[in-house]
Chains A and B, each alone.
Chain A
Amino acid sequence: MTIPYGQEPPGYPTPEPPAPYPATQQWPPAQPPATTVRKVEERAHPLTPLVRGWFAVVAVAWAMLQERLQGRTDGTAGLPWWVFVAVIGGVAALGLIAGFISWRFTRFIADETELRVESGWISHRSRRISYTRLQSVDVMQPLAARLLGLAEVRIDAGAHDSTKLRYLSRRRAYELRDFLMLRAHGAQVSVDVARAQTSDPIFADVGHADRVIVTVAPHELLLGALVSHDLLSLILGFAVPVAAVWVVASYFGHAAAAAIPVVALAGGVPMLLSIGQYFARRVMAQFNFTLAETGAGLRITRGLTNLTSQTVPVRRIQSIRLSQPLFWRPLRRYRVDLEVLGLGEATRNESTSKVSTLLLPIGTRRQVDAALAAVWPGLRLDAIRYVRSPRPAILFDPLSYSWNSFGVDDDVVVTRRGWLTRHQSIVPHARLQSVAAHQGPLERLMGLANVTFHTTGLLHTHSVIHMNADLARRLVYDEADRAMTSRDGELLR
């Protein structure tokens, strides 16, 4: 059954087209008619089914090839080669048909006030996203799509799952992204107007008017991966059990002791492979990391094979966290994460091309300052005086006592904690959702208390631990007051 373009399947009530703005006549004539937004109605790119079917084909082909190479005697071994080709071809055909149907019945419509995504063959589904609710718009280009010049647009509007438009041509995806971000900022433009501002690069996503703030060189990424806790735990996870068995076996003079170094060497090869994979994934995911300031917000572009491009309106940023793992301290390198409402699927893992909370994977103090200045130009981090916990708190945190502290100025509250990885959270008062103090029995004996600041995001470390209880009381009440009176206008200036 094919349905003419623009018509609904029979039996489905045709939705009323959104009423045109009745206010247009009342508006002052200063509003030129040229700004009326032209409604745009489109399908995804016709090559979409190919990309979506691609993964199924590769998976099946790989599984069969493995089976073949391992020379399994059961089941498939006796079959002639054309059976495999037929199966792979069948899967590919099924994938293509399913992809085609889904493509055929998916449309997106951009009109005056909202973006609609209509999809579904058997059960119809319509998602509406008001431009004023947009939190961030990302363009993702997995390798298969990238080779065909396609891209996925991912729209976050504060809900826990994002709306995905896949796939559009790369240029169209950038245009749509720029259009959405302009609309999110209240500009009355149509999709075609956004075109003029969009460039079409393959390895980056930087327009002519964009200002690049920070780029991270590959050797910096390698350095960060080399001295990370992840790598250390990878090595220790292998070396410690082997060493333990070897020590125990040789202590008891067991015959196996002599064999263990050989076994360890044999195990070392996959070990080295996984270390190599770890480096490769991390560097590939963050390759050419670029933080740029665009008219529509901050843009983060990264990736070697999969190109990821996130755009975040600055005023949607809820908090920022600086982290410094133990071994980064002598190198004076930092990692910066940001919290945005609606990045429900965002990950903190730096080894994937998925949408992440990263604002800077690794950077020197100067780069961190540049990134912070791009987010909150009014932030005066150096001028903040930090208050440490009283002396008895050292019993609770012998290793992080000297770091645990907090500082407050007119715009933000800054908290520091952690010993293996030192964290420093910056929360604007205007972004605080609620504040809590808590105290256990031992802390009560010593006159200590903890204070936690709740924000909308994924990072849960905005807390001051084991601080003076009287000070904690003052801090929570003052912070609640500041949350109500403070506006982030000054911070953004």
Chain B
Amino acid sequence: MPGLFSPPADRWIKISPKYVVVRILGAIIANALFWVPVSLIWAWVFAPGGGALSGVPAVAPFATQVQWFAAGVGIVWFVWRVYRAGRYARSWSYAERGEDLCITRGLWYKNLTIVPYGRLQIAKVDAGPLDRLLGLATVTLVTASAHSNASIPGLPAAEAERLRDRLIEVGDTLGSGL
């Protein structure tokens, strides 16, 4: 008996292993650009001696503790994300099965989405700056439903274009109106 997330045909096609780099760099950049400044401002505002609120000690009695706790949680989460990036990237895979495309992803919360080609309205290829650096792209399948949420990140750019062209071609022949 195949498991819920076993491949529908003979195998899943994995996305590029380089997607790990995108995940890790993305996590680092998000931290550097957002959380580090936020923490620094927080530390400055609530600094015990000589901070912005130094004259009003009662405003946040546990400010220092909260700050260290939040920083600890943030760092642990960051390290965990980087540590799991490889396995997360490997969890993404897709398969073309007859007349639909199957996408699976996730480690704890696993997800399997199937989009029949006939329901395809748009197939998009996006590549952010990090993606372009590594020659990757994301293919997104848009159906008439806002909840379909079917996209495959970390595809090699050539493969992404091949997949998009194939999706549009098959979608055209199988397309059914609304």
- Chain A residues with CB under 8 Å of chain B are 158, 316, 341, 430, 432-441, 444, 449, 452, 454-456, 460, 469-470, 472-473, 476-477, 479-481, 483-484
Residue ID in chain B nearest A468 by CB atoms: B4
Number of interface residues of B (CB under 8 A): 34
**In the complex the two chains form, is B118's CB within 8 Å of A436's CB?**
no
A184 CA to B97 CA, complexed, in Å: 36
**Set A316, A434, A481: member contacting B150, Cβ < 8 A:** A434
**In the complex the two chains form, is A433's CB within 8 Å of B4's CB?**
no
In the complex where A341-B178, A470-B1 touch, is A440 in contact with B113 (Cβ < 8 A)? no
Q: Is B64 an interface residue (CB 8 A)?
A: no
**Set A341, A436, A440, A460: member contacting B114, Cβ < 8 A:** A436
**In the complex the two chains form, is A434's CB within 8 Å of B112's CB?**
no
Q: Is B111 an interface residue (CB 8 A)?
A: yes
Q: Which of chain A's residues have a CB closer than 8 A to the CB of B100?
A: 480, 484
Q: Which of chain B's residues have a CB closer than 8 A to the CB of A481?
A: 98-99
A480 CA to B150 CA, complexed, in Å: 14
A217 CA to B99 CA, complexed, in Å: 48
**Set A434, A437, A455, A473: member contacting B2, Cβ < 8 A:** A473
In the complex where A434-B150, A454-B148, A476-B114 touch, is A440 in contact with B108 (Cβ < 8 A)? yes
**Set B97, B109, B115, B146: member contacting A438, Cβ < 8 A:** B109
A437 CA to B109 CA, complexed, in Å: 10
In the complex where A434-B119, A484-B116 touch, is A439 in contact with B4 (Cβ < 8 A)? yes
What are 14 A-B interface contacts by the 8 Å CB criterion?
A: A433-B115, A433-B119, A433-B144, A434-B115, A435-B113, A436-B111, A436-B113, A437-B4, A438-B112, A440-B109, A469-B4, A473-B4, A480-B100, A483-B118
A476 CA to B100 CA, complexed, in Å: 12
A460 CA to B119 CA, complexed, in Å: 18
Q: Is B166 an interface residue (CB 8 A)?
A: no
Q: Which of chain A's residues have a CB closer than 8 A to the CB of B37?
A: none
**Set B8, B108, B114, B145: member contacting A455, Cβ < 8 A:** B145
A-B contact count (CB 8 A): 89
CB distance from A335 to the nearest CB of B (A): 22
**In the complex the two chains form, is A454's CB within 8 Å of B147's CB?**
yes
CB distance from A173 to the nearest CB of B (A): 26
In the complex where A439-B4, A473-B2 touch, is A484 in contact with B112 (Cβ < 8 A)? no
CB distance from A312 to the nearest CB of B (A): 13
Q: Is B75 an interface residue (CB 8 A)?
A: no
Q: Which of chain B's residues have a CB closer than 8 A to the CB of A441?
A: 108-109
Best-surrounded residue of A341, A434, A477, A480 (most CB of chain B within 10 A): A434
Residue ID in chain A nearest B114 by CB atoms: A480
**In the complex the two chains form, is A438's CB within 8 Å of B111's CB?**
yes
A441 CA to B107 CA, complexed, in Å: 9
CB distance from B65 to the nearest CB of A (A): 31
Q: Which of chain A's residues have a CB closer than 8 A to the CB of B117?
A: 484
Residue ID in chain B nearest A447 by CB atoms: B4
Q: Which of chain A's residues have a CB closer than 8 A to the CB of B16?
A: none
**In the complex the two chains form, is A460's CB within 8 Å of B112's CB?**
no
**In the complex the two chains form, is B147's CB within 8 Å of A435's CB?**
no
CB distance from A339 to the nearest CB of B (A): 10
**In the complex the two chains form, is A456's CB within 8 Å of B178's CB?**
yes
In the complex where A437-B112, A476-B112 touch, is A449 in contact with B4 (Cβ < 8 A)? yes
- With A316-B178, A472-B4, A479-B114 given, can you name 7 additional A-B contacts, CB distance below 8 Å? A433-B119, A434-B114, A439-B4, A449-B4, A480-B97, A483-B116, A484-B118
Residue ID in chain B nearest A458 by CB atoms: B146
Q: Which B residues, 113 to 146, have Cβ-Cβ distances below 8 Å to chain A?
A: 113-119, 143-146
CB distance from A278 to the nearest CB of B (A): 31
A55 CA to B128 CA, complexed, in Å: 48
Q: Is B87 an interface residue (CB 8 A)?
A: no
Q: Which B residues, 1 to 49, have Cβ-Cβ distances below 8 Å to chain A?
A: 1-6, 8
A288 CA to B176 CA, complexed, in Å: 38
Q: Which of chain A's residues have a CB closer than 8 A to the CB of B119?
A: 432-434, 483
Residue ID in chain A nearest B100 by CB atoms: A480
Q: Is B76 an interface residue (CB 8 A)?
A: no
CB distance from A390 to the nearest CB of B (A): 14
Q: Which B residues, 135 to 178, have Cβ-Cβ distances below 8 Å to chain A?
A: 143-148, 150, 174, 176, 178
A338 CA to B116 CA, complexed, in Å: 23
Best-surrounded residue of A341, A452, A454, A481 (most CB of chain B within 10 A): A454
Q: Which of chain B's residues have a CB closer than 8 A to the CB of A470?
A: 1, 4
Q: Is B110 an interface residue (CB 8 A)?
A: yes
CB distance from B176 to the nearest CB of A (A): 7
